[in-house]
Amino acid sequence: MQQDQLIGEGVGFERIRRITGYLVGTLDRFNNAKRAEEHDRVKHDVSCCSLEEEHTA
């Protein structure tokens, strides 16, 4: 057995996301609109300070 052999060439990472309640294994099974929606998502801050800032908005 060769020790310098490379494993996993051409193999991508899996990225699991949720759409309308269901998990989906990879983004390429999303339809175009859901892909756009996933792309636009921003994270929601859970710290208290940001909460106060939001209230002033």
Partner 1 sequence: MIEQIVKRDGRRAPFEIEKIANAIFGAAQASGGQDYEMARGLADQVEKLLEKTAGDQIPTVEQIQDTVEKVLIESGHARTAKKYILYRNERTRVREMNTRLMKVYEDLTFQSSLENDVKRENANIDGDTAMGTMLKYGSEGAKQFYEMFILDPEHARAHREGDIHIHDLDFLTLTTTCCQIDLLKLFSGGFSTGHGFLREPNDIRSYAALACIAIQSNQNDQHGGQSVPNFDYSMAPGVRKTFRKLFRDNLAKALEVFGADDNNEVDAKTLTERIERETGKWACLAGGNGYDEAMAAALGETLDEQTVQKCLRFARKYADKETRKATYQAMEALVHNLNTMHSRAGAQIPFSSLNYGTDTSPEGRLAIEQLLLATEAGLGNGETPIFPIHIFKVKEGVNYNEGDPNYDLFKLACRVSAKRMFPNFSFLDAPFNKQYYKPGHPETECAYMGCRTRVIGNRYDPTREIVSGRGNLSFTSINLPRIAIRSHGDIDWFFEDLDRKIDLVIDQLLARFRIQSAKKVRNYPFLMGEGVWIDSDKLGPDDTVGEVLKHGTLTMGFIGLAETLKALIGKHHGESDEAQNLGLEIVSHMRERMDQAGEKYGLNFSLIATPAEGLSGRFVKIDRQRFGVIEGVTDRDYYTNSFHVPVYYPIGAFEKIAREAPYHEMTNGGHISYIELDGDPTQNLEAFEAVVRAMKEAGIGYGAINHPIDRDPVCGYTGIIGETCPRCGRREGEGVPLSKLQKLGLYKHLNSTTLGYHGDPAEEADRQPNTLQIVKD
Contact footprint for partner 1 (CB under 8 A): 1-25, 28-34, 36-37, 40-47, 50-51, 53-55, 57
In whole angstroms, how close is the CB of 48 to partner 1 at the nearest point?
Answer: 8
Instruction: Name 26's Cβ contacts closer than 8 Å, sequence gap at least 6.
Output: 14, 15, 16
In whole angstroms, how close is the CB of 39 to partner 1 at the nearest point?
Answer: 9
Instruction: Name 28's Cβ contacts closer than 8 Å, sequence gap at least 6.
Output: none
In whole angstroms, how close is the CB of 49 to partner 1 at the nearest point?
Answer: 9
Structure-block tokens of residue 44: 């929601």
